[in-house]
Amino acid sequence: MSRNGGKSSVEDEPADEAAAREIARLKEEIFLLATLMDNVPDSIYFKDRESRFTRINRYAAARFGVADPSHAVGRTDADFFTEEHAAKALRDEQEIIRTGQAIVNVEEKETLPDGNIRWVSTTKLPLKDLEGNVVGTFGISRDISGRKRVEALLERQAFHDPLTGLPNRMLFMNRFESSFRRANRSPGRRTFALLYIDVDRFKGVNDSLGHQAGDDLLCEISRRLERCVRPGDTLARIGGDEFTVLLEGI
């Protein structure tokens, strides 16, 4: 009871009980934060000013190929990625530490030492202490490899012939217009040639041997024409048995 006869107040609580209550509260917060980190299906990581990992979550550990998040502590991106990717990550993080400016939702390609590639959307921010001093960086990376594969497939379907795999009319016209503009900017210096090719008596092949034979013939013609052009030239199928070739820099 308090001196005024009322119930005990927080002010009357013994110091050791108040400390125990605060410790319990902090432990619960730490537990909740750890639970959140280890169940988010994204890579979460903290780094010091030298871009060494100080903590990662379990998802990141799995991506890095280590059995436990603690195994990444003190290591850098150079231990898990190619030199090129690790160097870029280091430059980005040192710039964040220098300027205090975050990078948000940047799509980047992660290249692994075994040659595998995955795409991630990354956000990195400056990590500050209680006094507001930048002591490192922290970030989150979300795997978007599936989305990038779909985007690449849709782009290929939009700009390539589904039968032969060659550029289609739309992609050919884009490249032709670009060549035309470049030639106009540098008359007499940048020249190009446009070839039009069709297959004689192709209708007879379809009518006598069937459409599958006609498709096989178009694919074989495409492969032979590809061997006749340079890497910088554009061979396209613009429809039916019609092909065009754009020869650059002749």
pLDDT at 5: 53
What is the Cα gyration radius of the chain?
31
Q: Enumerate the β-bridge partners of residue 236.
A: 244
Token pair belonging to 185: 């900017």
Domain residues of the chain, as ranges?
40-145, 160-248
Query: Is there a contact between 103 and 96 (Cβ–Cβ < 8 Å)?
Result: yes
pLDDT at 127: 96
Query: Is there a contact between 88 and 107 (Cβ–Cβ < 8 Å)?
Result: no
Indicate yes or no: pTM above 0.75. Answer: no
Residue whose C-alpha is closest to residue 195's, from 231, 242, 126: 242
CA angle 239, 156, 41 (to 5 degrees): 160
- Quote the CA–CA distance of 32 and 17 in Å, as a whole number: 23
What is the CATH class of 40-145?
alpha beta
Both ends of the chain: CA-CA distance in Å? 100
pLDDT at 191: 84
Query: Is there a contact between 61 and 68 (Cβ–Cβ < 8 Å)?
Result: yes
pLDDT at 186: 73
Supply the DSSP string of the chain, one letter for each residue.
--TTSS---GGGS-HHHHHHHHHHHHHHHHHHHHHHHHHSSSEEEEEETT--EEEE-HHHHHHHT-SSGGGGTT--GGGTS-HHHHHHHHHHHHHHHHH---EEEEEEEEE-TTS-EEEEEEEEEEEE-TTS-EEEEEEEEEE-HHHHHHHHHHHHHHHB-TTT-SB-HHHHHHHHHHHHHHHHHSTTTS-EEEEEEE-TTHHHHHHHH-HHHHHHHHHHHHHHHHTTS-TTSEEEEEETTEEEEEEE--
**Region of 100 on the Ramachandran plot (φ > 0 left; ψ -120 to 50 alpha; else beta):** left
Query: Is there a contact between 245 and 233 (Cβ–Cβ < 8 Å)?
Result: yes
The matching CATH number, chosen from 3.30.70.270, 3.10.580.10, 3.60.15.10, 3.40.710.10, for 160-248 is: 3.30.70.270
Q: Per-residue pLDDT tens for 130-183?
A: 999 999 999 999 999 999 999 999 988 999 999 999 999 999 999 999 988 888
- pLDDT < 50: residue spans in the chain: 1-3
